[in-house]
Homo-oligomer: A and B are copies of this chain.
Amino acid sequence: MEHFFVTVAQYATLSEQSRQELVKQLQKQVLPRGTILVRPDTTCKCLYFIDKGLTRTYYLKDGKDITDWISDENSFACSIISFITRRPDRRGIEILEDTVLYVLHRDVLDELCARYHDIEHLFRMLVAHGLIQLQQKFDDLHFATALERYKILMQSNPSFIQRVPLGMIASYLGITQETLSRIRAQI
The A contact surface, by secondary structure, is helix
- Chain A 106-140 interface mask (CB, 8 Å, partner B; 1/0): 00000001100100110110011111101101100
Q: How many angstroms from the CA of A90 to the CA of B139 in the assembled complex? A: 12
Interface stretch of the complex, out of A79-87, A158-166, A176-184: A79-87
Q: How many angstroms from the CA of A80 to the CA of B130 in the assembled complex? A: 12
Q: How many angstroms from the CA of A130 to the CA of B130 in the assembled complex? A: 10
Q: Do A134 and B134 touch across chains, with their CB atoms under 8 A apart?
A: yes
- Assess whether A174 is interfacial by the CB under 8 Å rule: yes
Other-chain contact of A137, B113, B121, B123, B138 (Cβ < 8 Å): B138
Q: Which residues of B contact A84 (CB under 8 A)?
A: 128-129, 131-132
Q: Using a CB–CB distance below 8 Å, which chain A residues touch chain B?
A: 61, 80-81, 84-85, 113-114, 117, 120-121, 123-124, 127-132, 134-135, 137-138, 141-143, 174
Q: How many angstroms from the CA of A113 to the CA of B80 in the assembled complex? A: 23
- A-B contacts besides A117-B117, A127-B128, A131-B134, 12 pairs, CB < 8 Å: A81-B132, A84-B128, A84-B131, A113-B121, A113-B124, A117-B120, A130-B131, A131-B131, A134-B134, A134-B135, A141-B141, A142-B174
Other-chain contact of A61, B80, B117, B143 (Cβ < 8 Å): B143
Q: CB-nearest residue of chain B relative to A120?
A: B120
Q: Shortest Cβ distance from A63 into chain B, in angstroms?
A: 13
Q: Do A141 and B143 touch across chains, with their CB atoms under 8 A apart?
A: no
Other-chain contact of A141, B80, B81, B138 (Cβ < 8 Å): B138
Other-chain contact of A124, B80, B85, B124 (Cβ < 8 Å): B124
Q: CB-nearest residue of chain B relative to A61?
A: B143
Other-chain contact of A127, B114, B124, B138 (Cβ < 8 Å): B124
Q: How many angstroms from the CA of A123 to the CA of B124 in the assembled complex? A: 7
Q: Shortest Cβ distance from A111 into chain B, in angstroms?
A: 12
